């Protein structure tokens, strides 16, 4: 077994789509970024790369590369899962935390789990999504940013 940790944060701006784990969330603010700025998927990618000892998301998908402008982060995640498979690694489970003052993510959790699990090629019960507010403190509390944490465990085939 191998474990990894991932973290990501993006600024929030009006009129940007809020996509978490590949799921579109209805909210007037969304993260800014070179790709679709899916902060949760980015944290999961870094957790997977960390567990595999393969560096970080910026090394694999540079935000200076026009190829990744507005990129679908779920496609990047699928690409990483393929890289792991090629090295004989399979995802055992993933645990995550999204830190956002608003909106309430509880209604979206089942869909996010299902979507991430499909891309990770594992059962939804091996993907956990937790949502927390920042109790009004810091960048997330002011709704200036949204952040996410993830851990991943990989099994060697
Ligand atoms: Mg990011």
> Could you give the CA distance from residue 52 to residue 83 in angstroms, rounded to a whole number?
10
Spatial neighbors of 109 by CB under 8 A, at least 6 apart, are 129, 131
Spatial neighbors of 138 by CB under 8 A, at least 6 apart, are none
Distance 21 CA to ligand 1 centre (A): 12
154 pairs with which residues across the strands?
2, 91
pLDDT of residue 50: 98
Distance 135 CA to ligand 1 centre (A): 23
Q: What is the pTM of this model?
A: 0.97
pLDDT of residue 106: 96
Distance 41 CA to ligand 1 centre (A): 8
pLDDT of residue 70: 84
Distance 42 CA to ligand 1 centre (A): 5
Distance 80 CA to ligand 1 centre (A): 15
pLDDT of residue 157: 87
pLDDT of residue 96: 98
Distance 15 CA to ligand 1 centre (A): 18
Distance 148 CA to ligand 1 centre (A): 9
Distance 84 CA to ligand 1 centre (A): 20
Residues of the chain predicted below pLDDT 50: none
Helices (H), 30-69: 39-52, 57-60
């Amino acid at each position: 077994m191998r474990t990894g940790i991932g973290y990501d944060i993006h600024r929030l701006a009006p009129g940007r789509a809020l996509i978490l784990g590949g799921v579109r969330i209805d909210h007037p603010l969304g993260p800014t970024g070179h790709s679709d700025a899916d902060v949760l998927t980015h944290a999961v990618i870094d957790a997977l790369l960390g567990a595999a000892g393969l560096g970080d998301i910026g090394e694999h998908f540079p935000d200076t590369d026009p190829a990744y402008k507005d990129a679908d982060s779920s496609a990047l995640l699928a690409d990483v899962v393929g890289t792991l498979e090629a090295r004989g690694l399979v995802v055992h489970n993933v645990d995550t935390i999204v830190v956002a003052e608003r909106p309430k993510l509880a209604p979206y959790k089942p869909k996010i789990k299902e979507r991430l699990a499909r891309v990770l090629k594992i059962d939804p019960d091996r993907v956990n999504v937790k949502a927390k507010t920042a109790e009004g403190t810091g960048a997330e509390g002011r709704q200036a940013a949204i952040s996410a944490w993830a851990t991943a465990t990989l099994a060697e085939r």
